[in-house]
Every structure is written in structure tokens, then in C-alpha cells.
Amino acid sequence: MISLSNQELLDTNITDFIIPSEKVAHVQVGNSLEHALLLLTKSGYSSIPVLDPRFHFQGLISSSLITDSILGLERFEFEQLELKKVEEVMTTDFPTVSLESKFKEAIELLVDHPFLCVISENGYFEGILTRRVVLKHFQRHMYKMS
């Protein structure tokens, strides 16, 4: 059974737990795959958001999507890295949450995704909510309850 305080936790708004957009590594739709791969490799992140020039969320790009897109029949076609644009390869098949979302909704989505992009009503990219941040909050709550 869910106790009242656990229910309160599930009803908590995600806003205070968001990593704000200015601290999130991202690429633009028109950037080359080479630029995106450099950023992914240097940051150590497996996947990062793709934005348009007006800071609207467009999708996600990952190292595996990039390497897959340059895989030829017998070799990686590395020359494609500077020719292809991020928007040709990014995925848009990804759930997002809003500033009004609650922990309950976020947790259900974070089971299958390491992070969620937080989007405002007008599509503006607000930041991300990571599985790590949510788990840390749960851990603190668990110790308080014990």
C-alpha cells in the first residue's frame, strides 16, 4: 500500500529536479554528424538533445545512431560524418515531459529512458530530468522514512 508521504512524493512536481537547458550539452539540427560525434565523445554522454536555432526541442542524437548511419557494406564511411546533418539521423521517437509533470509520470517513463527532455507549452527546451537525479531523490526519501 502507498502511504500518504509516498503518495505526496509521487505527486511532487518535477520542476525543482530539472537540469536547466544552459547546463545541458546539445547540438543544433544543422550541425554536422562530425560535430555531434565530437561533442558526444568529449562529454561522455550516450545521447544528447537536438534543438533548432530558436531553442525548440527537435529530437535526440546518439553515438550509435551516428555510427549506424555511416555504416556501409564493408566499412564505416567516415567521410559521411562531415556531409550529413544531425537532423537526417536524429530520432524523434522519444517521450517528453512538461513543466507541469509529476514524479509519477516521470518515473514510469524513466524505466525505459535514462533521461527525459522537459518542454514548455510552446515547444521551448527547458532542460532534462535524469534517472540519476530522480533515484537520488528517492534514496533521500527512503532514508528519511527509515
Q: What distance in Å separates the CA atoms of residue 24 and residue 32, rounded to the nearest whole number?
A: 19
Element (H, E) at 27: strand 27-28
Residue nearest to ligand AMP (CB): 132
- What's the rounded Cα separation, in Å, for the pair 118 and 68? 27
Partner residues linked to 43 by β-bridges: none
Closest CB 33 distance from ligand AMP, rounded Å: 17
Q: Which of 33, 115, 125, 126 binds ligand AMP (CB under 6 A)?
A: 115
Does the protein bind ligand AMP through residue 131 (CB under 6 A)?
A: yes
The piece of 65-73, 90-98, 101-109, 128-136 that touches ligand AMP (CB under 6 A) is: 128-136
The answer to whether 58 contacts ligand AMP (rule: CB under 6 A) is: no
Closer CB to ligand AMP, 5 or 140, in the complex? 140
Residues 68-107 that bind ligand AMP (CB under 6 A): none
> Which of 17, 45, 124, 138 is close enough to bind ligand AMP by CB under 6 A?
45
The residues that touch ligand AMP, with contacts defined as CB under 6 A, are: 19, 23-25, 45-48, 114-115, 128, 130-132
